[in-house]
Structure 1
């Protein structure tokens, strides 16, 4: 959220977070798309060892990038929400990101998402 957000925008953001687990403003979405289309950093062709992920972390990353909430992921994978949140924290640590937008951007830039067959 921007510092000058209106009360209505803040309420909408909170409702989005409660319903979907995330909230993107138009500015955030545009910045994300621009960052993907015009990366300022060199994209690695392979991941360093510290970025290697377990199969479970890869599953959770896919579901996060598909827009699922922690509760939804937990239900689909038959694990607790706290376990999912632990995996999220580990993914944030491994990728050096701090939020879902950064994680999705990282996954897209590093081509970590499965392609539909």
Structure 2
């Protein structure tokens, strides 16, 4: 029996770009493309009334700011992973996306190979940020004034957290550490509880802010 395909919603205000993206993703066997939309309100309506497993969205939308859209989605359906595709990568945009806790962010100038890599990482429980985005994220997180937490993660949890920050998927972590994916999920749930994080992006922020990993 084949696994269920992930119902995927594409959001962008440029129809020509959407047509091209749909054409690229048609061959991605793990995804089932839902009808694409050009407005944030349309996306929210679909998400409220249908099963959506994965979202790829632009930041510049005609009716709702892309960051606000992500925040609304995460409030209503926090389990849905989101990949941002945008032309912009200035510090303000990256900081906003980091705070909104989107699972990925790559530039529209990226090639098909990087797009597929980002999608594969995210739908398998990981995160993916292009190198341009990552460098800005590190600068923002390391310059942020925070009160260090009392670290109460186990050695195994820190080991898994390090691999999460290096953008390993659950499958890749399982293969590297010789543990089951269900065990990884158990450790992740424990880390969510201990760090007060809602998702993988929150764990990455916690790790960098508390200097648990060299990223």
Query: TM-score per shorter chain, which class?
Result: 0.5 to 0.7
Alignment of 1:1-117 (within 5 A): 5-6=11-12, 8=21, 10=56, 13=83, 18-21=119-122, 22-24=127-129, 32-33=137-138, 35-39=140-144, 41-44=145-148, 47-48=149-150, 51-113=151-213
Where does structure 1 lack aligned partners over 5 or more consecutive residues? none
Structure (1/2) with the larger helix percentage:
1
Residue 75 of structure 1 deviates from its aligned partner by: 0.9
Residue 37 of structure 1 deviates from its aligned partner by: 4.5
Where does structure 2 lack aligned partners over 5 or more consecutive residues? 1-9, 13-17, 22-54, 58-81, 84-114
Q: Relative contact order (C-alpha < 8 Å, sep 6+): which is higher? A: 1
Point out the structure with max Rg over C-alpha.
2
Structure (1/2) with the larger strand percentage:
2
TM-score, length of structure 1 as denominator length: 0.68
Aligned length: 106
TM-score, length of structure 2 as denominator length: 0.40
